[in-house]
Structure 1
């Protein structure tokens, strides 16, 4: 991108924490979809371009500049969408899936591809290079009947609310593209950082200021001094642990929360701590819980789910 066609801003405090943490592998968001029909790559790319038009953070690059004393980060936003889809054939996919054959826990091919993407850190050690905040890939599966569509984002541009909204908007755009409905509003400015949207009356409160900083502290302190690794020699990599409840069990949990007048997040937190403590081999270990809270509705001005970016604080 040339400087003539780009706009930008420096990252905020919370965004900066993610930019620093991602060098160690923390701060990558991956959205994956299993598709059972042949995907029209041209239509998919057009839909992604529309998403980029609607959300400037998705058509931004992360610029990293290092000096002898500090490293700074900024978003460089193109006026036009530029995403290109990486397409991987069956041979590439098969090689990825073969790496997990000796694992003791069996996971689905979809999750294997997702974990593979989680470990593709294109933002690691990129001083002087502008890297895309949003990339997309398609993997042809060995059964020759399915495909996995993956979107990988820097977490400075994608909290959980953004991830959910992105998927919803993409599905709508794909349907509209099929109907040849092409009206999309182009946004030019990346939203301000969360620190710049704190209401004046709350900015002076120590608890709010602390809430903004806790995420920074937490993200950059995952290497707790009391955390012991079983394997310290091999390269570090990310994996996913999934918990899934059926409809009946979910209803029981929700009814129990309502009856006991407790929040669902509190019940899940308590259950996780109890399960960890009940493990005989881990009963003496320490655990921490981080609760992320979407702050969009409490900012000034209030933001909607349509505003993509990192707008969360946390309680630790």
Structure 2
């Protein structure tokens, strides 16, 4: 499809009925990150062949924008130090989706659409009033499978991982004829920082300075995966890590027995696999960094739920020394204890501004990172997986497959793990920057991760 035919989610601003607010600190960091390639959230749906699919898709996306005004917003002055989110009146013209024929299959289209970035500086300018936060595209898929593919791209400042999962459920409900959901406008009113209770966000000045130094030093002494090609144009690619229903149940049971969450087991297995990939001498130690992403909605004032679309996540970063003799559950317990200790100390709330500041400094000065690669951690994981029990909704909506993922090839980890449990089966989309890392390299890494998790969740199988 020609980029000029892509449908933006709002009308061009200009009327007096528009309202606006400054972006918050976390939203600002995404305004800085997205042009470089990190932070484009993609909802992708493969639609079964059926009459009226295009009309239903257009109506479904419109319904999302009606229920969540943040999805109709424009980002104004996004490349400056004072960007704003502008919101159109409800009477503004809505998007129109015309299906375009495609010679590519769904998986190929998904990876291509994932890397189309209308907010990048290299793209044709969207006009002086900024760009919409939402773009949608619809394709007719080639025979013999046929059907259609719906892609909804959202600027991550307006949509985090929990929100994208909620939007997917709403899309399926709309496509299945369930009608509109309840309207909400939390992100229109205020961003994350303005909703954190003051008692939870406060930190003494000297403590803030000590933490900033600590984060900076830890970042300089951590190891990474080997880079394949540096100094080249990048894109985000994906490998899948999938478990059957029985293997998923065993892994979740093993996590429970060992007192850790799935995210800690996934982080530990990735750290062990990364060290194994380097063929180091026995006992040779390396330090790796992990980022655990936490949904903060329940900690805000007033509390929000996942139906409140916006960006309400924070991160806790930890470093771990790995010598290669650890067992999976020993290391998973270390990962679990380190991030839960930080969380219990409210660092997911007090350190938000610090991490946003360091993220922006790294974007401005890539030479501060190893090989100017902008890698801030080996792996990022989400504290809680998304659980989808959508088979009935999916069947009713005529959706054969779906994905909720985001780009990581600007600033970010070597691999971002988007884990979900789909009807009892663990399915992880593992996103990485290419050609900084190669598909072969990442496939081998996650083959090892899968083996480690399989062995660790088997009786007595905790050594590798």
Do the two structures share a fold, i.e. TM-score over 0.5?
Answer: yes
Aligned counterpart, 1:54:
67
Aligned counterpart, 2:261:
263
Aligned counterparts of 1:143 and 1:20: Cα–Cα separation in 2:
41
Aligned mate of 1:115, from 106, 111, 115:
111
Which consecutive residues of structure 1, in runs of 5 or more, have no partner in the other structure?
98-108
Aligned counterparts of 1:18 and 1:246: Cα–Cα separation in 2:
35
Is the 2:53–2:148 contact (alpha carbons within 8 Å) kept by the matching residues of 1?
A: no
Aligned counterparts of 1:42 and 1:305: Cα–Cα separation in 2:
27
Q: For residues 164-313 of structure 1, what are the structure 2 equivalents within 5 Å?
A: 164-176=165-177, 185=183, 187=185, 190-205=188-203, 229-232=227-230, 234-280=232-278, 287-313=288-314
Aligned counterpart, 2:82:
72
**Residue 163, structure 1, aligned to residue 164, structure 2:** yes
Aligned counterparts of 2:243 and 2:86: Cα–Cα separation in 1:
42
Aligned counterparts of 1:139 and 1:285: Cα–Cα separation in 2:
46
Aligned counterpart, 1:103:
none
Aligned counterparts of 1:184 and 1:266: Cα–Cα separation in 2:
35
Aligned counterpart, 1:140:
140
Q: How far is the alpha carbon of 1:258 from its aligned partner?
A: 1.4
Structure 1 stretches of at least 4 aligned residues deviating more than 6 Å after TM superposition: 224-228, 282-285
Which whole-Å deviations, capped at 9, do the CAs of 1:155-193 have from their partners, x for residues lacking one?
A: 11111110110011122223336xxx5686475971411
Q: How far is the alpha carbon of 1:261 from its aligned partner?
A: 1.5
Q: CA RMSD in A?
A: 3.2
Matched residue SS, 2:177: helix
The normalised TM-score by structure 1 is 0.80
Is the 1:84–1:135 contact (alpha carbons within 8 Å) kept by the matching residues of 2?
A: no
Aligned counterparts of 1:60 and 1:285: Cα–Cα separation in 2:
45
How many residue pairs match? The answer is 286
Could you say if the C-alpha distance between residues 182 and 293 of structure 1 is closer, same or farther in structure 2, counting changes exceeding 3 Å? Answer: closer
Aligned counterpart, 2:39:
27
Q: How far is the alpha carbon of 1:3 from its aligned partner?
A: 3.5
Aligned counterparts of 2:140 and 2:280: Cα–Cα separation in 1:
40
Q: Flag the structure with higher strand content.
A: 2
Aligned counterparts of 1:264 and 1:188: Cα–Cα separation in 2:
30
Which consecutive residues of structure 2, in runs of 5 or more, have no partner in the other structure?
1-12, 318-464
